[in-house]
A and B are shown apart, each in its own frame.
Chain A
């Protein structure tokens, strides 16, 4: 479901699941509902999202109880859902109609809300065909939760296939076409050689003279996907480089190893930030040997002189009834979460556009961690860092095994993003 449809159903919240409502769920057991608690009573927070998602895929309907017990879900107690929960080891609490009425009363009286979930979004993950399946936190989260997705890359994006998806995830792609600026520091490394060859071949096959030119075209297509009503979620360096590529309209910001010509010395002044989604007025890193793009990233993990230590970030509280989108994105059983590095770890406050909604920041620090905004009829969400459960991830590190982190609050934020396009809610100010 595109955001357009999402908005068109304004007011549909009134049709929230009701034990008495027409089209309600068949009552399979004496308790017709399953509450999926998302507070500390939950035995596997991450798989719980998959449970809700699969129920929607089967054509069922659910509700997301924002701010109620960590952002719980209400699902029908049908045999398929009950079986699915048992297999996945997800904690459920059977609810009868009386108990549900009491919960609804509690929700109505507090900073909580019940959001109907109607249709599983069609999910795409942007990744090159040779991407290691375990090297992307979102891919790992989707696999672990059991949420289906398709992998797409440049040919599909340039070929307008994005129109067939509701939700798109970008991870650590470098949309400036500079191979994560590892070209000089990792020269000769087999994975880098493969990455360069693959990208050059792809640019050529799509009719672009250089990889930076091709990546910018991909970035523009992604921005258009958002404008048309798509939901975009990006992490790590895809956040920063997507905006840099969009703003570099007619500006050469790529090092000579990428496109044969050096970066324009006055590139910073020539950037057209009106094209970017989230950032403005950033200073570009001019050195091709420093794997840093700009001062958008607050932590500068790959700059020895500028690298900042990790702290923790705090999720903001929003009004569930007035700001349901932001509230959905921060549903969690923890409010303070340990930070984690990525090529882009955080976003400096002074480079954020005024329209950006900050979802989480590090109090007192000049950076924020988790941001959200709108473009056209769609929305985007950026989350800094690479892997919430591997704070200092290095190239070649062992994959994170999410069965060891079933309560990961950082991964929950990712999965909030996957599920929120399924929500049906009247538009309210964010």
Chain B
């Protein structure tokens, strides 16, 4: 198509769109102008409509919307007055009116309009709520408080406008009053429970006991739920669950809802007591759930207990899942993978492997592959490299390639490990895993030999948590290989392991072995670590001398700024962080 024809067609389409708008009238035309962002034109269109029908709420709301981006919100007042004159009972019009007076910064008119609305709708909280909201728009907290208090008094209901008063009290830092108002709120409107928890959870520590005292005086179940979740959020999850468990109603859905809410407070639990409480909560949920959901909850409970270090509880729950009349294949996918991961974490690798065979067809491919890799890591930890290799199979994902690399390394196949790690690239696993692999490459790359079985045994010992054996093996390798050909790196790793195990004398000796000029890529790191070690051992002069040596000998090393900072700290030139 020639450029001329494209231009002609574009003009034609534009002309068609323009003519479509021209054909529209009334509210569709105003909406279209608003949609296009032509706010001034839309405002004129809405005003035209309101001139004909002053109480047209859709037009009035439209005008309110388009005046906001024009920064002319108060300019709606003539239309508001006309609308109220035409229909003095429409709550929508009153709402617009209150917002308009707030925009015009006219508190007296806000109040007068709200009073007029309240007279037209006796018994309704809305006029007072909107009055307070309009005051808050002007950041007038005393005005809002007056609106809510007047409303409560006029309505004659002690719980009226409780959520609004609760929020206001919280914003003013009066959390005891906020607790009273939130209790009144959730007794009448349980849906506000989450809001109450979130708002009261902000109470500063010195006020928390006072807040809990107010809540504990209330004997209702909503109050117990609130108390339990606040306790969980404030670091006392076990106390919270005790309170909740004692008050759980017989009605299963209601009890489950409460338990799930409580569980939500433990979502990011890290501490052991919180993880154990999470396990207990999941057990209570399982007791009240149908078979499949119960099995899933028990698996998750087992996972929580396992993470808390409570292997007995984890094993008990896993046995319950195993004995369940529900076939394992009926487990929901999430629960199935959790079950296998927990079994692998508990060292029950064959059981986990059997479950993976059973449940595999019900899992998606990615989940299945990840569980297989979990099993591979489990077998590596158990020292069963052949079994690990067999489970891993021909996994060619980047994570799988990285695992192949590790398995080759554990067998001492340095060249094979390097090749696999290079294929895996920097993206396999999480950031920590990628960093660990990159550090390892610094050790492997200078090694000229294709196989170093001793290195494989050292790295396997490290993976199995046997630091002492790994350190000894690495020290021997450091003594065997020349410094520039991986010896210095092996000594450096051995030194780091010795330091982490608290053997600082050995660490110092090994750092010195690694800090040799023949290994200029390794020596700065060894010198920095040695400087840190000496400073930590209060050998300040030696540590400073070591850091100075690093800075002066390797001025282009990326570690020099770090060495300077340590030196500054040792001299007292900057605060310690």
Residues of A within 8 A of B (CB): 83, 86-89, 133-134, 143-146, 398-399, 401-403
* Cβ-defined contact, A86 with B552, below 8 A: yes
* Cβ-defined contact, B552 with A83, below 8 A: yes
Our pick among B551, B561, B572, B573 for the contact of A86 (Cβ within 8 Å) is: B551
Smallest beta-carbon distance B566→chain A, Å = 11
Smallest beta-carbon distance A163→chain B, Å = 28
5 more A-B residue pairs beyond the given contacts A86-B551, A89-B560, A145-B573, with a C-beta to C-beta distance below 8 A: A83-B552, A87-B564, A133-B572, A144-B573, A399-B575
A86 to B568, CA, bound (A): 14
B-chain residues with CB within 8 Å of residue A83 when the two chains form the complex: 552
* Cβ-defined contact, B575 with A134, below 8 A: yes
10 nearest CB pairs, A to B: A399-B575, A403-B574, A144-B573, A143-B573, A401-B574, A89-B564, A87-B551, A134-B575, A87-B548, A401-B575
Our pick among B552, B572, B574 for the contact of A87 (Cβ within 8 Å) is: B552
By secondary structure, the B interface counts as helix
Q: List 12 A-B contacts (CB under 8 A).
A: A86-B552, A86-B555, A134-B575, A143-B572, A146-B573, A399-B575, A401-B574, A401-B577, A402-B573, A402-B574, A403-B564, A403-B574
Smallest beta-carbon distance B206→chain A, Å = 16
A13 to B221, CA, bound (A): 88
The reply to whether the CB of B567 lies closer than 8 angstroms to some CB of chain A is: yes
The reply to whether the CB of B565 lies closer than 8 angstroms to some CB of chain A is: yes
Residues of B within 8 A of A (CB): 548, 551-552, 555, 560-561, 564-565, 567-568, 571-575, 577
Smallest beta-carbon distance A400→chain B, Å = 8
B-chain residues with CB within 8 Å of residue A401 when the two chains form the complex: 574-575, 577
A145 to B572, CA, bound (A): 11
Our pick among A133, A134, A399, A403 for the contact of B568 (Cβ within 8 Å) is: A403
Q: Which residue of A lies closest to B564 (CB)?
A: A89
A401 to B577, CA, bound (A): 9
A-chain residues with CB within 8 Å of residue B575 when the two chains form the complex: 134, 398-399, 401
Smallest beta-carbon distance B301→chain A, Å = 42
Smallest beta-carbon distance B290→chain A, Å = 54
Smallest beta-carbon distance B445→chain A, Å = 30
* Cβ-defined contact, A146 with B548, below 8 A: no
Smallest beta-carbon distance B529→chain A, Å = 19
Most buried by B among A83, A89, A143, A399: A89
* Cβ-defined contact, B564 with A88, below 8 A: yes
Smallest beta-carbon distance B244→chain A, Å = 39
A146 to B573, CA, bound (A): 7
A-chain residues with CB within 8 Å of residue B567 when the two chains form the complex: 87
Smallest beta-carbon distance B263→chain A, Å = 37
A195 to B525, CA, bound (A): 46
A303 to B561, CA, bound (A): 43
A-chain residues with CB within 8 Å of residue B565 when the two chains form the complex: 403
Our pick among A89, A144, A398 for the contact of B574 (Cβ within 8 Å) is: A144
Smallest beta-carbon distance A72→chain B, Å = 22
Smallest beta-carbon distance A140→chain B, Å = 8
Q: Which residue of B lies closest to A146 (CB)?
A: B573
Q: Which residue of B lies closest to A46 (CB)?
A: B573
Smallest beta-carbon distance A82→chain B, Å = 10
A9 to B95, CA, bound (A): 83
B-chain residues with CB within 8 Å of residue A403 when the two chains form the complex: 564-565, 568, 573-574
A86 to B553, CA, bound (A): 10
A85 to B92, CA, bound (A): 74
